[in-house]
Amino acid sequence: MDNVQNKSKKKKEESKLFCVEDYEKLAQKVMDPLARSYYGYGNERGWCLRDSVQAFSRYRIRSRALKDVSHRTLSTTVLGQSIPYPIGVAPTGNHVMVHPDAEKATAKGAVAAGALLIHAVDSNETIADVAASAPGGLRWMQIYMFRDRQLTEHIVRETERAGYKAVVVAVDSPCSGLSPKLLDMFNTNGLDHPKYCMRNFKADIPSFWESRAFDDSNNFKYLYDMQFHASATWDDIKWIRTITSLPIVCKGILSAESAKEAAGAGVDGVLVSAHGGRQLDGAPAPIDAVAEVVDAVRGSGIEVYMDGGIRTGTDVFKALGRGARAVFVGRPILWGLACQGSKGVENILEILVKEFDKALAISGCTSPEGIPPGMVVHESYYHHNNMQSKL
């Protein structure tokens, strides 16, 4: 009887999932405490985490009235690859914490929705297994500039073999932003179970086999030792450029200076990102930083994307209006996965797409590229104009 009642209650709750916020609220109920802490983590005071969401409220849309918006398209291209809409799945790790099928379920949901997926290297499923579980999907692979270049090359080769179309290099992690408290929660919550294994790091290279001399069956210590590379420089990006013909995107760019250095290193795209507020608590909200980055690489042919804080289709519109070519969503995908598995991932994407389409129409635009310059402005635009009108 209890099982029947629980299923009925779950079905009733799922029938009320109309927006991303609804999924967030339900996910907080269904996720276990460790998953809630891990996915909800923001470094130090969590200011960057909160502001990345709240910052969208500082932007206004100067809509255009009486435009014929009866024929609209959401499709665009990224790195020459066609996508049905400019919303993709950001790289996040450890999906097994909220669903037993982990990144396989996420990939299936992304394929069902037609979305571009960036697969995180610190996932519980291998690159090959994710590709096989959801054939036909467009995927990019996120990596770090590992301390051992042999490991970097191993991941890149696996990426190429699996048919992924780009390499996304996180450049904002010379050290970990995770707190001692969160790490202690990991160490005391039974993460020695095989399901938590970081399978992409099993490589036939000396540094991996040396790590096996310690009790590191899930590769956590090896990942931690390799991932945070304090002496990495733009020369490492240039080196990655020499070992693959795949396009390279740098993730974690938040300033004009870094954007220009990325351009100098020969990258094809930059992803404006504050790592979900998990690294530097004094970092700006990505929506505040994206216009600066766009201006810095204008005319170079480098594409600019953004992630961080996107919760509605209007947020997507604002990010594109500030210059991003496409956006990526992280936590909302995990909430969908926690609530309904692959179907939840698909639903989250479809919600954002529908909301974005509506924002596009009401604003007087017919395509992502058709959002005119100056349509999305900081709220200070109106304060400044009001002051001028009084003089």
Band (1; pLDDT cuts 50, 70, 90): low
| pLDDT tens digits along 303-329 | 999 999 999 999 999 999 999 999 999
Band (14; pLDDT cuts 50, 70, 90): confident
The radius of gyration computed from the CA coordinates of the chain, to the nearest angstrom, equals: 21
pLDDT higher than threshold 90 for residue 391: no
Kindly tell me the burial class for residue 190, based on how many C-beta atoms sit within 10 Å of its own C-beta (0-12, 13-18, 19 or more). Answer: exposed
pLDDT higher than threshold 60 for residue 389: no
| pLDDT tens digits along 45-56 | 999 999 999 999
Residue 250 is predicted with a pLDDT of 98
- In percent, the amount of the chain with pLDDT more than 90 equals 86
Residue 119 known to be catalytic? no
Q: Which of 188-197, 218-227, 316-325, 354-363 has the lowest mean pLDDT?
A: 188-197
Instruction: Report how far residue 41's alpha carbon sits from residue 32's, in angstroms, rounded to the nearest whole number.
Output: 14
Which tokens go with 174? 């010379």
Which tokens go with 16? 């009320």
Residue 184 is predicted with a pLDDT of 84
187: phi then psi, degrees, rounded to nearest 5: -70, -20
DSSP string for residues in 101-167: THHHHHHHHHHHHT--EEEESS-SS-HHHHHHHSTT--EEEEEE--SSHHHHHHHHHHHHHTT---E
Q: Are 240 and 170 contacting, i.e. CB atoms less than 8 angstroms apart?
A: no
Band (15; pLDDT cuts 50, 70, 90): confident
User: Does pTM top 0.85 for this prediction?
Assistant: yes
Query: Distances in Å between the alpha carbon of 259 and those of 60, 109, 245, 291, 298?
Result: 26, 32, 21, 11, 10
- Give 119's Cβ-side CA count (13 Å radius): 36
pLDDT higher than threshold 70 for residue 146: yes
Residue 175 is predicted with a pLDDT of 93
Please tell me which residue, 384 or 39, carries the higher pLDDT value.
Answer: 39
Residue 187 is predicted with a pLDDT of 77
Query: Distances in Å between the alpha carbon of 374 and those of 59, 64, 126, 168, 295?
Result: 11, 11, 43, 30, 14
252: phi then psi, degrees, rounded to nearest 5: 110, 20
Q: Which of 99, 154, 229, 275 is catalytic?
A: 275
Please, what are the domains in the chain? 20-390 (3.20.20.70)
Instruction: Report how far residue 197's alpha carbon sits from residue 219's, in angstroms, rounded to the nearest whole number.
Output: 6
**Whole-number average pLDDT of the chain:** 94
Instruction: Report how far residue 319's alpha carbon sits from residue 309's, in angstroms, rounded to the nearest whole number.
Output: 10
Which distant-in-sequence residues (6+ apart) come within 8 Å of 12 by Cβ?
A: none
Element at 340 (helix H, strand E): helix 331-362
Instruction: Report how far residue 259's alpha carbon sits from residue 297's, in angstroms, rounded to the nearest whole number.
Output: 7
- In percent, the amount of the chain with pLDDT more than 70 equals 94
Q: Which of 121-135, 161-175, 180-194 has the lowest mean pLDDT?
A: 180-194
- What's the distance, Cα to Cα, between the start and end of the chain in Å? 73
| pLDDT tens digits along 336-386 | 999 999 999 999 999 999 999 999 999 999 999 999 999 999 999 998 755
Instruction: Report how far residue 277's alpha carbon sits from residue 153's, in angstroms, rounded to the nearest whole number.
Output: 28
Which tokens go with 60? 């206004």
Residue 345 is predicted with a pLDDT of 98
DSSP string for residues in 283-334: PPPHHHHHHHHHHHHTTTT-EEEEESS--SHHHHHHHHHTT-SEEEE-HHHH
Band (12; pLDDT cuts 50, 70, 90): low
Q: What share of the chain is helix, strand, coil (3-state, %, to 5)?
A: 50, 10, 40
67: phi then psi, degrees, rounded to nearest 5: -105, 140
| pLDDT tens digits along 251-300 | 999 999 999 999 999 999 999 999 999 999 999 999 999 999 999 999 99
344: phi then psi, degrees, rounded to nearest 5: -65, -40
Residue 110 is predicted with a pLDDT of 98
Instruction: Report how far residue 361's alpha carbon sits from residue 357's, in angstroms, rounded to the nearest whole number.
Output: 6
Which tokens go with 259? 């954007």
Residue 390 is predicted with a pLDDT of 44
Instruction: Report how far residue 33's alpha carbon sits from residue 274's, in angstroms, rounded to the nearest whole number.
Output: 24
Residue 371 is predicted with a pLDDT of 98
